[in-house]
Amino acid sequence: MVELGGVSTSLTAEEVEEVRRRLGREPTPVEAGMIDIMWSEHCSYKSSKRVLRILPRRGPRVLVGPGYDAGVVDIGDGWAIAFKIESHNHPSAIEPYNGAATGIGGIVRDILAVGARPIALLDPLRFGDPRKSDHAKWLLNYVVKGIADYGNCIGVPTVGGDIEFDESFETNCLVNVACIGIVRKDRIVKGEMRHPGDILILIGGSTGRDGIHGVTFASRPISERSEEDRPAVQIGDPFMEKLLIEAVLEVLSTGYVHGIKDLGGGGLTCCSSEMASKGGVGVDLFLENVHIREAGMHPYEYMLSESQERMMLVVDPKGVPTVLGILRKYGIPYSVVGRVTSSGRLRVFLLGQLVADLPPTILTEVYEPPRRAKRPAYLDEIRRKPKPPPYPDLEDAFLKLLASPNICSRAWVYRQYDHEVGDRTVVKPGDGDAAVLRLFEVPNKAIAITADCNSKHSFLDPFHGTAGAVAEAARNVTAVGAVPLAVTDGVNMGNPEKPEHYWQFKRAIYGLNYALRSLEIPCVGGNVSFYNEDERTGRAVKPTVFVVMLGLIEDLSYVRTMAFKQPGNYIVVVGRTYAECGGSEYFEEVLGFVGGRVPKFVPERERRSLLVVQEIIRADRCVAVHDVSKGGLAIAIAEMAIKGGFGVDADVARAPRARIRIDELLFSETHSRFVLECRPDDVKAAIAIAQLRGVPVRVIGRVTTEKCFVLRFGKRQLVNRDLVEISDLWERALPRIMHERYPP
């Protein structure tokens, strides 16, 4: 902690000197507090900006790119989709229920802040191993409850997500949340102030002392002192949020609102400085007008508070009476707190006293400290490990994987969410590789949305692990009948001041950039969360970059799910399997081996597989589709059988493959692969489409009426189990783990 302006800050000595140099004087206590939070990692992205700039941001459908509360993508017919991901890791690690709940509230307001109606939520999560840790169970239980209670109350369905368990997340769980919204192209607004004379109206929840220094708390590792930061975790009010959604959308429809922004991390300071900086204007704030919940607050507290359910409207003066009338109709508390000026200064007053006077750019154009990257030594140690021999009983390995926490059914989680409210959900959680939402505003169109990442792959190879997350997300939206449009990314890493962690971050972003540019998919926004590390042990989370991908379905007839549909249909594998079990569930869960060759992202291979499946779906030559990822080919086929309730008789020796062992053929997590179910009359046409594109494809078996799951390798029987047995194993694994202490 270094003192600046008479107050203790989280700034470094170099940053303090930079502030004094830019200002040419010592800041006031209020100014010092404002600079402190805006120069925090959480608000400033000071360690990540220079690397993130390499990502592709433009595309023919991109309407709003990075730098705003949400990215916006054109879907045609005058409509657009807004989507964004945010993290609430540190708050959730300390207070999981409210940390997760307020994460939902914040991400919903980000979507509102570009003028869109929120229509769906996703929750990519990471926890420690619940079989070994009561703490991991506690975090999982209350994070899920927090997401469920808040999302269910505001009437926005949670339709998908991603969950993985690993001991590296024991202390630092990762709670990322994403929201999707729909908006008319001519109704998009941005978080900017551009018109001097506009009036600033603060709406929603009252301002209190809760959440002060929340962003600085999120910009340092978890430690023994972290329990003292519990007051930095806000308490959400979903009922106020629901009123805000309806009131804001009606206010925006008047055309009088020139700008809008959520008061999230950094509160009033972040909101006012970013909007003024983007518009190149000044702003005067009058704190005595702010509606508060606690008497005697200091200006420092007003400016740093992160109280929830608050937004700022920038309103044309002639529209103020109309806007206030709508707010009163909905019972939304509000305060007229300031005005836009041409001064180029952010000035803060309390009862006529000037307590802060800064150029907005000193808050938004931060000092970017040099960071050093160094390849971690553990990677060399892992590479020297010889590949382990096959597990002696492949049927037992298959059953172990089905019941493992990272592969078993997630129904225990998503059944706590209302995933159908709003009546848009076409493909529900667990039914397909991505969620599908119908668009009432655009007849016969739908969107697909998914969130993907494999933290184990990224730990062994951040470049290909993250590139692989893009590939998996693209396969997932393709599998439900969509064409990938754009992504937003949620980056979760350790301490960037440590060269090894910064190397992981850089390699991950390079991999993300490589995959996005290879597949011609733009990145329209994202979030970076550093310092996900336990200071007491020095242990950081495995590198985790969630890829939230949006896909467009031009015709509802293209929608596909993963369940097998009809006995007698053929099982077709698209794509070749390679010996790429590094970071796989088979290596780590069954063999207890950390190492090996991670699945490699090969652009041309991935592009061709995606195009083939898209063409087969559009030609109506398949009735079910599932991508091959976690658990490999054997698990993908099993999930399709379980969901359909039909048996399987398949010879995996027929699947396209390199020269590999049988266990690798079953469980390798190689990219660019799909399993299709084709009607007998459609098989030749489907194969012809794949062959025309030069994609390996083979029929490996059939769907059967017998409730039996059979996998063979030629004449050698590998798995022969009752379908009811494997269904029970897969579906009940997570409830059995959680019910040891918690009811469903």
- Residue 512, both tokens: 């993300």
Cα–Cα dist 183/673, whole Å = 35
Annotated active-site residue in 42, 213, 457, 464: 42
HSE of 170, CA atoms in CB hemisphere, 13 A: 12
Q: Are 252 and 113 in contact (CB under 8 A)?
A: no
φ, ψ (nearest 5 deg) of residue 458: -65, -30
Give the Cα separation of 360 and 717 in Å (integer): 70
**Known catalytic residue at 42:** yes
For residue 591, which amino acid is it?
Answer: L
End-to-end CA distance of the chain: 45
- CA–CA distance, 703 with 678 (Å, rounded to integer): 10
Residue with tokens 């200064």, as numbered in its chain: 345
CA angle (310 as vertex; 201, 90 as ends), nearest 5: 150
From residue 108, how far is each of 115, 181, 248 by CA, in Å? 11, 9, 12
Retrieve residue 246's tokens.
Answer: 């309806």
* Alpha-carbon gap, residue 553 to 558, rounded angstroms: 7
Instruction: Using alpha carbons, select from 444, 436, 447 the residue that is nearest to residue 551.
Output: 447
Read off the amino acid at residue 61.
R
Closest to 699 in 3D by CA, of 667, 635, 655: 655
Alpha-carbon gap, residue 280 to 340, rounded angstroms = 10
Identify whether the C-beta of residue 33 lies closer than 8 Å to the C-beta of residue 1: no
Grouping H, G, I as helix, E, B as strand and the rest as coil, residue 79 is strand
Amino acid at 725: E
CA atoms within 13 A on the CB side of 200: 31
Give CA separation, 479 vs 486, 516, 665, 674, in Å: 16, 18, 21, 8
736 Cβ contact list (under 8 Å, min separation 6):
none
Cα 308 to Cα 675: distance, rounded to the nearest angstrom? 45
Report the largest interatomic distance among the alpha carbons of the chain, rounded to a whole angstrom: 88
Residue listed under structure tokens 């655009």? 442
Cβ-Cβ contacts under 8 Å for 596 (sequence gap 6 or more): 385, 387, 460, 580, 581, 582, 583, 584, 587
**H/E run at residue 506:** helix 499-519
Q: Which amino acid makes up residue 589? A: E
Residue 419 appears among annotated catalytic residues:
no
| Structure tokens belonging to residue 568 | 């007698």
Amino acid at the residue 482: A
Residue 532 is classified by DSSP as: -
Concatenated DSSP letters for 551-579?
EEES-GGG--BSS---TTPEEEEES-B-S
Distance CA 530, CA 689 (A): 45
Q: Which of 88, 90, 258, 626 is catalytic?
A: 88
Estimate to the nearest angstrom the gap between the alpha carbon of 316 and the chain centroid.
35
Which residue, among 498, 502, 532, 526, has the nearest Cα to 512 in the 3D structure?
526
Q: Which residues are catalytic?
A: 42, 88
